[in-house]
Amino acid sequence: MCGIFGISDNEESAKLSYVALFTLQHRGQESAGIASVKNGKLSYYNSMGLVNEIFNPSVLASLSGKSAIGHVRYSTAGSSSVNNSQPLYFNCKYGEIAVAHNGNIVNAAHIKENLAKNGAIFQSDTDSEAIIHLISRSGKKNFFEAALEQLPKLKGAYSFLFLNKDALMAARDPYGFRPLVLAKKDSSFIFTSETCAAEVIGAEIIREIEPGEAAIVKNGKISFFRFSPIKKYSRCIFEQVYFARPDSVVCGHTVQSARYLIGKYLFEEMKGVKADIVSGVPDSGSAYALGFSAASKIPYVPVFMRNHYAGRSFIQPDQKMREFTAHLKLAPIKDAIKGKEIVLIDDSLVRGTTSLKIIKSLKNAGAKKIIMAVASPPIISPCFYGIDTPTKEELIAVRLKEKDKIRKFIGADELHYLSLDNLIKACGLGDKNFCKACFDGKYPVK
């Protein structure tokens, strides 16, 4: 999962991109970058680390230009290295190009293998690079015509931003796996992964880019193109469960309100539950716990102090770092915990290692009983569309199979999962409009 942002026709494009990427930092914490265009020339700067560590006033000054794209990365294809940081920069037969990508292209390895046989040399090991090499081999007269021709060859999840000396282009895959929002600020058009990144700079949300649609901004005007019919609208439901920021709007309502409603549904499914307090695993679990508390009348009490500088444990690049980050991130508040029966809510249960450590810390702080409530169904299948669960063996619901075995592994006294029906109901669209492959094993595209 990554975050992308693009803005046209604004002399403050690099600075506004910085602010937007800072707002999207929750979507990726390994690397970040910005590419901009000024006087027909592209400039770019990528580095490992957080947005506020990478960009200082002098770096942003070097990126001044009328249009820009930016990217924050969490690796799902390709290693965690500066060579794979984005935006990627290329100088091909169509001139200088910068590209930012959110998603995962499932046939990228096959495409790159065929391209390599025909002499292609790759500068990164990301799936994102495949599209530029395809475009470079097109016979079309300009880059954007070539992109529209080649995009249908990609399978999987992609929201792309392309920047060259003439224009800014956005494109979303025919299934709509990953979000891509269109907004406007004065005479500038904006594309971004989440509404929060546009709203923070004072932009007005217009609509989402549709699946199979591309938008090109040139000379201050925007044009829309359909490069593919909509296949089966398959918006990732895990965006609302975990990745999206609470103040972002998805499916017509804020993520916070969807999570609050999920908390209410959790209580309805856990009929007769009794506890002294309800709490959430910060930060994503908090909204669920507030909804649960409102429905159950069980008091909501924070039981953890979160270190906000520790990052998000799920999107660390390897398991050892996930466990280390989880340990740093949460400190139990002993006075709130001692002698209490606690309903503890988390967004999901993926590998189980973080939950094990969290519950152990609560028990060590004197908790009498831990009722673990998970705000999503058991994850039974890996994601191939941009979330880092590459093998079934990593998933605790697959590895241990039975709910009681999972409960014992994480150390909870009780364990409850939200039903898939209520998750879909809370997230606001009909069953046909979500990708739920991680929960039901039904992949829209392979």
Which tens digit of pLDDT belongs to each residue from 390-438? 689 889 999 999 999 999 999 999 999 999 999 999 998 666 689 999 9
Question: What is the SS3 string spanning 6-30?
Answer: EECCCCCHHHHHHHHHHHCHHHCCC
**Could you report the per-residue pLDDT of 309-336, keeping only the tens digit for each?**
665 455 555 666 666 666 677 999 999 9
Other beta carbons within 10 Å of 327 = 15
Of 2, 196, 236, 435, which is the active-site residue? 2
Interstrand relation of 304-306 and 330-332 (parallel, antiparallel or unpaired)? antiparallel
From-to residues of CATH 3.60.20.10 in the chain: 3-231
Crossing angle (nearest 10°) for helices 319-329 and 353-364: 30
Active-site residue flag, 2: yes
Query: What's the rounded Cα separation, in Å, for the pair 60 and 94?
Result: 26
* CATH entry, 238-440, from 3.20.20.480, 3.40.50.1400, 3.90.1150.10, 3.40.50.2020: 3.40.50.2020
pLDDT confidence bin for 283, thresholds 50/70/90: confident
From-to residues of CATH 3.40.50.2020 in the chain: 238-440
Question: What is 3-231's CATH topology?
Answer: Glutamine Phosphoribosylpyrophosphate, subunit 1, domain 1 (3.60.20)
- Specify the residue for token string 């619901």: 397
pTM for the predicted model, two decimal places: 0.92
Contacts of residue 6, defined as CB under 8 A and 6 or more positions apart, other chains included, come to 17, 67, 68, 69, 70, 100, 161, 163, 168, 170, 190, 191, 192
Mean pLDDT calculated for residue range 189-193? 99
Closest CA to 427 of 345, 315, 347, 313: 347
- Sign of the C-alpha dihedral, residues 288, 430, 190, 42? positive
pLDDT confidence bin for 388, thresholds 50/70/90: confident
